[in-house]
Amino acid sequence: MTTTSIPCNNYFTRALNFAQEYIKSDGMRIMAACVAATAAAGFALIKEFPEAIPSTFGKLCFALATPVVVFGIGKIGVKLSRKMDAIAKNMPKALNASQIASTIGSSRNKPNSMLFFRTTYDYNDVYISQAEVSRVKELAKSHSIELLTGSDKSEINQNMEQIKTQYDKIVIKAHANPEWLRLAEGLVLTKNSKKTMGWFRDHVKPGGAIILEACSAAKGVDNIAREISFACPEAYVYGSDSDIEHISGLTYDQDCIPTFYDYVPPKNENEDLDDYLIRTANYKRDSTRVYKNGELLQPAG
């Protein structure tokens, strides 16, 4: 049995040279070269095996159909590849969310109670990060944890109405600035949110804590952390006077009292996490502020 060598590489090289000369976009050059090369390969097959397709019209159709088929298969491959990339990218987030939910679900019958009031407006996924998984596991060692969240203002309000418990600690996990906390789409907590402020007052135990895991919630003089402390005068309110770095910039002690640290940006997007933690270890400034009934009990370091 003999084999015939078909010079497809030569056709591809010629097509690529043509594309490089006349087509500006790199992506279009490669696509044009591939289409031209597969068409040339179709003609080469016909030339080497003329008896396979007797008619001239059939040969022409075969040669022209070859790049169309290859191009179609390529497009399907690209779409599948993008879907697989998206699945691979989201898989760690899904696993983290599952671990957090499992930890919360198995944290019952502990001596202290804690409520996570968690935003669904988590644009950078800090509340389903690997650091968050570790943090929740530590808190669950001494606290029975419940989770309150919702997709929008209506669902959040419905879930709030169903809760009758008072908690030792309420942890608000939300993106913020000194003037507001974004609790969900359409639900922003400001100093004018009297009803929501009253809900927090009624659901934290006297002497309990409201912890704001939210950037800059205690920055400046008249900030949202201070406003919450006015509305909940029997509770201690903890916040940060700067942005929070959620990997190493937030820790809890054995009594589950938080300490916030300044956010130090990475050198670049490719900086190794271990290198970042080593580099920033000596740059941490305690940014924690503690309020009670509007009075600043602990200024930031």
User: Above pLDDT 90, what percent of the chain?
Assistant: 40
CA distance 261 to 264: 9
Contact 212, 172 (CB under 8 A): yes
Distances (CA, A) of 183 to 136, 161, 167, 238, 295: 19, 15, 19, 17, 25
Q: How confident is the model at residue 66 (pLDDT cuts 50, 70, 90)?
A: low
Task: Identify the three-state secondary structure at position 58.
Answer: helix
Q: What is the pLDDT at residue 75?
A: 60
Q: How confident is the model at residue 7 (pLDDT cuts 50, 70, 90)?
A: very low
Encoded tokens for 271: 């900086």
Q: Where in the chain is the domain with CATH 3.40.50?
A: 106-298
Of residues 232 and 124, the one with the higher pLDDT is 232
> Which residue's entry shows tokens 């080497």?
48
Count other Cβ atoms within 10 Å, centred on residue 237.
Answer: 30
pLDDT digits (tens, 9 = 90+) for 17-48: 655 555 555 555 555 656 666 666 666 655 66
DSSP 104-163: HHT--S-SEEEEEEE-S--TT-GGGSHHHHHHHHHHTTTEEEEEE--SBHHHHHHHHHH-
Q: What is the pLDDT at residue 291?
A: 97
DSSP 180-231: EEEEEBTEEE-TT-HHHHHHHHHHEEEEEEEEEESTTTT-SSS-HHHHHHHH
Whole-model pTM above 0.75? no
Q: How confident is the model at residue 183 (pLDDT cuts 50, 70, 90)?
A: confident
Instruction: Determine the average pLDDT of the residues in 68-93.
Output: 62
Q: What is the pLDDT at residue 262?
A: 80
CA 149 to chain CA mean position, Å: 17
Of residues 162 and 24, the one with the higher pLDDT is 162
Q: What value does the mean pLDDT of the chain take?
A: 79
Of residues 98 and 267, the one with the higher pLDDT is 98
Encoded tokens for 295: 């009075």
Residue type (1 letter), 226: R
Q: Is pLDDT at 214 greater than 70 in this prediction?
A: yes
Of residues 249 and 132, the one with the higher pLDDT is 132
Phi, psi for residue 124 in degrees, rounded to 5? -115, 15
Task: Identify the three-state secondary structure at position 140.
Answer: coil
Structural class in CATH, domain 106-298: alpha beta
